[in-house]
Structure 1
Amino acid sequence: MKSHSSTLLAEVRSFRQNHPDVRYVDLIALDIPGHFYGKRYPVEMLEKIAAGSPLKLPQNAVLLGAQGGLFKIGDYCFNDGDPDANRRLVPGTLKPVNWESQPLGQMLITSDGTEAPIEFEPREVLAKVLERLQHQGIHPVVAFELEFYLFDKQLENGLPQFARDPLSGDADDQPNLHIERLSRFSDVLDDMAQTAKDQGIDITVITAEIGPGQFEINFGHCDDGLRAADWAALFCRSTRGVALKHGYRASFMAKPYLQFPGSGMHVHVSLYDAAGNNLLAAHQQRPLRHAVAGCLELLPHCMPIFSPNHNAFRRLGGTVNAATRASWGFEDRDACVRIPESDPRNLRIEHRLASADANPYLVLAAILVGLEHGLEAKREPIAPLNEDRNSGADFPVEMLDAVRAMQQQPVLRDKLGAEFVEVYCENKRQDHLTFQQEIQAREYRWFL
């Protein structure tokens, strides 16, 4: 513990030396809906925390709804006295923020690794899954891909407007994959990529996607699942900030336009043993087939994680590469679980179902549990789409049905934690019901 504190203290002191104009640091963590919460600390106080002083925040901050409100979930929030819970600094995540008007720093915090971790904190849920796999000699390598849209900074009657092409000044309203769009929006995209790199995120490929103002950024393959999810979370935060600095809004909303493709979170996962052998490639790829079967079996029960809100369900069965059934296939982007062409060393699955606004810690945890379950059960999967275009299993396409499917699933309760499953499902149910409590203009048009 002493050497751990020494490492953190050295990180803080180095940061202060390299960034003497920074007076405050945001200590941040991801809540259940995938939003950052936290506190802004004077940088000199950060040294004390790094040296071992306690860092406490309300436990129930993790339970915030999509709009920031608290729901009664069991005894949490209203019958527990709103207790504090210990957090710790995540080493290596203290970085400068360059999208604010004043110099600022930020650093991730978490309850995992403390004496009493919060069972339903997303990072802790993933940490427990990774720890269990490590004890089994399974070492995941993970790469996220995130799609997002750029909009004009100004909304019109609350609705997003197409981003303006910096070259012509016209709305970028033509869906295409043309690489020229990367050049036209290069100022903001280059700043997003460099800012992400400054945060320690391994940015690789940038793609102009099909939707107007839609782009995708890929991250490098990472042998630390927690760090890979950290990258995805931090990228969303920095990208929104950089976009505003350039006069745009960046959004990871799953389906901002009905007529154009939604935005997804694609996750590549391969599994290795301690010697570096690809476990999925062994025995004529039988483990790969078992892992796929496990993913598909649990997928219908993980829909509240993969599609975490009402809008995310709109993305399913959309215009491009968004599945409506649990399916798999080789080099097939219509499948939920795609097997990209690769050599045995790099054999992996690409899980394509999650929306871009899903919680990356929970998405990865759910995928890994599916893989783990499949390797244990050793079942054969259904036919791939390459053999049968109608192959697939139904999954819920509405939130309340999805919550019911998740809540009683025994494998998820065992491997993700029963307390987490109960809390998460109730959070999603309450969020959905709260969303339904507002009468939209369409209802008056239809029924008044």
Structure 2
Amino acid sequence: MKSHSSTLLAEVRTFRQNHPDVRYVDLIALDIPGHFYGKRYPVEMLEKVAAGSPLKLPQNAVLLGAQGGLFKIGDYCFHDGDPDANRRLVPGTLKPVSWEAQPLGQMLITSDGTEAPIEFEPREVLAKVLERLHRKGIHPVVAFELEFYLFHKKLSDGLPQFARDPLSDDADDQPNLHIERLSRFAPVLDDMVETAKAQGIDITVITAELGPGQFEINFGHLEDGLRAADWAALFCRSTRGVALKHGYRASFMAKPYLQHPGSGMHVHVSLYDAAGNNLLAAHQQQPLRHAVAGCLELLPHCMPIFSPNHNAFRRLGGTVNAATRACWGFEDRDACVRIPESDPRNLRIEHRLASADANPYLVLAAILVGLEHGLDTAKEPFAPLNEDRNSGTDFPLEMLEAVRAMQHQPVLREGLGAEFVDVYCENKRQDHLAFQQEIHAREYRWYL
């Protein structure tokens, strides 16, 4: 503990030396819907926390709905006295914030690794899955890819407007994959990349995607699954801030335009043993087939995680490279689970179903539980799309149906934790019902 505290204290003191103008640091964590919550600490108080002083925040902050409100979930929120719970600082995450008007820092906090972790905290859920896999001798290597849209900073009657080309001031309304779009939007994209790198994130490939103002950013592969999810979460935060600084609005919303492709979160996962051997490539790649079968078996029960809101289900309407059934294939972007071409050392799955606004900790946890289940049961998957374009099984396309499919699935309850599954499902159910409590203009047009 002393060594851990001394390392954190050295990190804080080095940060203060390098950034003497920073007076406050945001201590942040991701809640269930994937929003950051936390507190802004004076930097001198952060030294005390790093040295071992307690860091406590309300336990129920994790349970906030999409709009920030609290729902009654079992005895939580309204019958538990709203207790505090211990958090700890995540080493290596204290970084400067460059997109705010005033100098600021930020640092991740978490309950995993504390004496009483919060069972339904997303990072804790992933930490438990990774710990269990490590005990089995399975070491995942993970890389995220995130798609997002740039919009004009101002909405029009509440609706997004196409991003303006900074060179011509015309709307970027010509969807294409042309490399020139990267050049035209280079000032904001370059700032996003440099800001992410300043957060310690390894940015690799940048792509101009098919939608107007849509781009994709790829991250480097990591042997630390928690840090890989940290990168995805932090990138979303910094990208929104940088976009506003440049006069844009960046969004990871799953389906902002019905007529254009949605934004996804693609997750590459390979599995290695302690000696560095790729477990999926052994025995003529038989473990790969088992892992795929496990993923596909659990996929219909994980839809509230992969599509965490009403809008995210709109992305699954059969547009470009968005599957509508649980399926797999080799080098096939229509598949939920794609097997990219690679050598045996780098053999991996690419899970393509999750929306870009899904919680990266929970998405990765659900994928890993599926892979684990497949390796444990050694089942064979159904035919890949390369052999049968109609292959696959249905999954829920509506939130309440998806919640019912998830809540009582025994493998998920064991793999992710029964308490988490119950809390998460009720959170999504209440969010969905709250979303329905507004009459939209379309209803008046249709039924008045």
- Corresponding residue of 2:121: 121
2:365 is the counterpart of 1:365: yes
Q: Distance in 1 between matches of 2:245 and 2:382?
A: 48
Per-residue CA deviations over 1:397-444 (Å, capped at 9, x if unaligned) read 000000000000000000100000000000000000000001011001
Contact 1:278-1:346 within 8 A present in 2 as well? yes
Contact 1:340-1:350 within 8 A present in 2 as well? yes
- Count of residues in Structure 1 that have an aligned counterpart in Structure 2: 448
Per-residue CA deviations over 1:41-93 (Å, capped at 9, x if unaligned) read 00000000000000000000000000000000000000000000000000000
Per-residue CA deviations over 1:321-364 (Å, capped at 9, x if unaligned) read 00000000000000000000000000000000000000000000
* 1:131-170 equivalent positions in 2, closer than 5 A: 131-170=131-170
* 1:46-85 equivalent positions in 2, closer than 5 A: 46-85=46-85
- Corresponding residue of 2:280: 280
Q: Distance in 2 between matches of 1:169 and 1:16?
A: 41
Q: Distance in 2 between matches of 1:116 and 1:74?
A: 19
Q: Distance in 2 between matches of 1:11 and 1:206?
A: 31
Q: Distance in 2 between matches of 1:390 and 1:312?
A: 23
Flag structure 2 segments of 5+ consecutive residues without an equivalent.
none
Q: Distance in 2 between matches of 1:125 and 1:318?
A: 31
Q: Distance in 2 between matches of 1:5 and 1:36?
A: 25
1:319 shift after superposition: 1.9
Q: Distance in 2 between matches of 1:136 and 1:318?
A: 38
Q: Distance in 2 between matches of 1:189 and 1:160?
A: 19
Q: Distance in 2 between matches of 1:431 and 1:371?
A: 29
Q: Distance in 2 between matches of 1:317 and 1:186?
A: 32
Give the SS at the match of 1:21. coil
Give the SS at the match of 1:56. strand
1:212 shift after superposition: 0.1
Q: Distance in 2 between matches of 1:280 and 1:321?
A: 25
Give the SS at the match of 2:26. strand
Q: Distance in 1 between matches of 2:294 and 2:3?
A: 40
Give the SS at the match of 2:29. strand
Give the SS at the match of 1:11. helix
Contact 1:96-1:104 within 8 A present in 2 as well? yes
Q: Distance in 1 between matches of 2:352 and 2:74?
A: 33
- Corresponding residue of 1:19: 19
Contact 1:300-1:394 within 8 A present in 2 as well? yes
Contact 1:148-1:250 within 8 A present in 2 as well? yes
Give the SS at the match of 1:364. helix
1:297 shift after superposition: 0.1
Give the SS at the match of 1:204. strand
Give the SS at the match of 1:228. helix
Per-residue CA deviations over 1:19-45 (Å, capped at 9, x if unaligned) read 000000000000000000000000000
Contact 1:280-1:288 within 8 A present in 2 as well? yes
Contact 1:28-1:106 within 8 A present in 2 as well? yes
Q: Distance in 1 between matches of 2:317 and 2:291?
A: 24
Contact 1:261-1:318 within 8 A present in 2 as well? no
Q: Distance in 1 between matches of 2:381 and 2:219?
A: 29
Q: Distance in 1 between matches of 2:135 and 2:326?
A: 29
Contact 1:192-1:239 within 8 A present in 2 as well? yes
Q: Distance in 1 between matches of 2:173 and 2:17?
A: 46
Give the SS at the match of 2:140. strand
Q: Distance in 2 between matches of 1:120 and 1:323?
A: 29
Contact 1:262-1:318 within 8 A present in 2 as well? no
Give the SS at the match of 2:204. strand
Give the SS at the match of 2:12. helix
* 1:215-254 equivalent positions in 2, closer than 5 A: 215-254=215-254
Per-residue CA deviations over 1:286-323 (Å, capped at 9, x if unaligned) read 00000000000000000000000000000003320000
Identity, % of aligned pairs? 91
Flag structure 1 segments of 5+ consecutive residues without an equivalent.
none
Q: Distance in 2 between matches of 1:222 and 1:408?
A: 32
Task: Give the TM-score of the pair, scaled to structure 1.
Answer: 1.00
Give the SS at the match of 2:438. coil
1:266 shift after superposition: 0.1
Per-residue CA deviations over 1:239-280 (Å, capped at 9, x if unaligned) read 000000000000000000000000000000000000000000
Per-residue CA deviations over 1:80-107 (Å, capped at 9, x if unaligned) read 0000000000000000000000000000
Contact 1:32-1:121 within 8 A present in 2 as well? yes
Contact 1:306-1:355 within 8 A present in 2 as well? yes
Q: Distance in 2 between matches of 1:317 and 1:64?
A: 28
Q: Distance in 2 between matches of 1:94 and 1:201?
A: 12
Give the SS at the match of 2:20. coil
RMSD value, Cα:
0.3
Give the SS at the match of 2:188. helix
Q: Distance in 1 between matches of 2:381 and 2:145?
A: 25
Give the SS at the match of 2:147. strand
Q: Distance in 2 between matches of 1:415 and 1:185?
A: 43
Q: Distance in 1 between matches of 2:202 and 2:64?
A: 30
2:123 is the counterpart of 1:111: no
Contact 1:166-1:184 within 8 A present in 2 as well? yes
Contact 1:316-1:324 within 8 A present in 2 as well? yes
Q: Distance in 2 between matches of 1:390 and 1:372?
A: 26
1:138 shift after superposition: 0.3
Moved more, 318-327 or 292-301: 318-327
Q: Distance in 2 between matches of 1:384 and 1:71?
A: 41
Contact 1:192-1:238 within 8 A present in 2 as well? yes
1:118 shift after superposition: 0.1
Q: Distance in 2 between matches of 1:172 and 1:324?
A: 29
Contact 1:55-1:87 within 8 A present in 2 as well? yes
Give the SS at the match of 1:257. coil
1:382 shift after superposition: 0.4
Give the SS at the match of 1:380. coil
Q: Distance in 2 between matches of 1:219 and 1:104?
A: 25
Task: Give the TM-score of the pair, scaled to structure 2.
Answer: 1.00
Give the SS at the match of 1:60. helix
